[in-house]
């Protein structure tokens, strides 16, 4: 087995751990973290479906197209739950509908389902980066009483994981087509190792965030 395949497989271990952790502590989670659990369960299902396609030597890009279209509504809903009345429902719904329209059009007319959907991934990354920055500012406000202290610790870890991952992988997504079409096989492999590393960082942050919240039952 090649180094790239080994790293990609290893990068799925934190995903397994996070999904199991989420199932175990779900009953102890507050509203925002329960909403985020949907993203974790979706990610776990899609990641392992994609890995199965990859190991079978089949094109897993259709799975990625589905994942991008489904993950953004989950994440926007999560951030809306965290930010509450500090951001308009219309704005968040507008983001979801505009993104879904864009990614559908992109998959039909520009980057079909068998190609790397870099355009949609770039837009997704920008959306998550902006929302995560707003959330960092929001959680730093000590006057906010709606969120319990323990939830704040968990949300900071989860938000940090999302911010680090999407910011770090933005260039990979932006140059995705160029990398796949024009780079050597070894450089493409190094790119996916880099991506896998930040995936590990993100899911480790998720795991820690859920673990911290599970220590104190939600009342």
Residue that the structure tokens 């951030």 belong to: 79
Q: What are the extents of the domains in the chain?
A: 3-214
Q: Mean pLDDT over residues 74-82, rounded?
A: 96
At residue 212, the pLDDT reads: 86
Higher-confidence position of 43 and 54: 43
Structure tokens at 66: 């589905």
**Using CA atoms in the order 188, 193, 194, 198, what is the torsion angle rounded to 10 degrees?**
140
Q: Which of 108-112, 190-194, 212-216 has the highest mean pLDDT?
A: 108-112
219 pLDDT band (50/70/90 cuts)? very low
The percent of residues in the chain predicted with pLDDT above 90, rounded, is: 70
At residue 218, the pLDDT reads: 47
**What is the domain class of 3-214 according to CATH?**
mainly alpha
Alpha-carbon span 31 to 42, nearest angstrom: 17
């Amino acid at each position: 087995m090649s180094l790239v395949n080994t790293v990609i497989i290893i990068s799925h271990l934190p995903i397994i751990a996070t999904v199991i952790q989420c199932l175990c502590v779900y009953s102890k989670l507050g509203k925002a973290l329960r909403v985020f659990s949907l993203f974790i369960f979706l990610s776990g299902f899609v990641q392992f479906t994609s890995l199965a396609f990859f190991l079978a030597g089949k094109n897993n890009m259709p799975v990625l197209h589905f994942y991008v279209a489904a993950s953004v509504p989950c994440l926007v809903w999560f951030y809306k739950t965290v930010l509450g009345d500090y951001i308009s429902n219309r704005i968040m719904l507008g983001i979801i509908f505009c993104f879904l329209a864009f990614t559908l059009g992109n998959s039909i007319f520009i980057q079909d389902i068998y190609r790397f959907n870099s355009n949609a991934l770039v837009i997704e990354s920008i959306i998550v980066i902006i929302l995560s920055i707003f959330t960092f500012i929001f959680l730093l406000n000590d006057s906010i009483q709606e969120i319990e202290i323990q939830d704040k610790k968990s949300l900071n870890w989860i938000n940090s994981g999302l911010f680090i991952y999407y910011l770090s992988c933005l260039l990979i997504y932006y140059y995705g087509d160029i990398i796949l079409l024009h780079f050597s096989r070894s450089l493409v492999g190094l790119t996916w190792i880099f991506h896998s590393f930040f995936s590990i960082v993100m899911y480790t942050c998720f795991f820690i965030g859920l673990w911290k919240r599970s220590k104190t039952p939600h009342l």
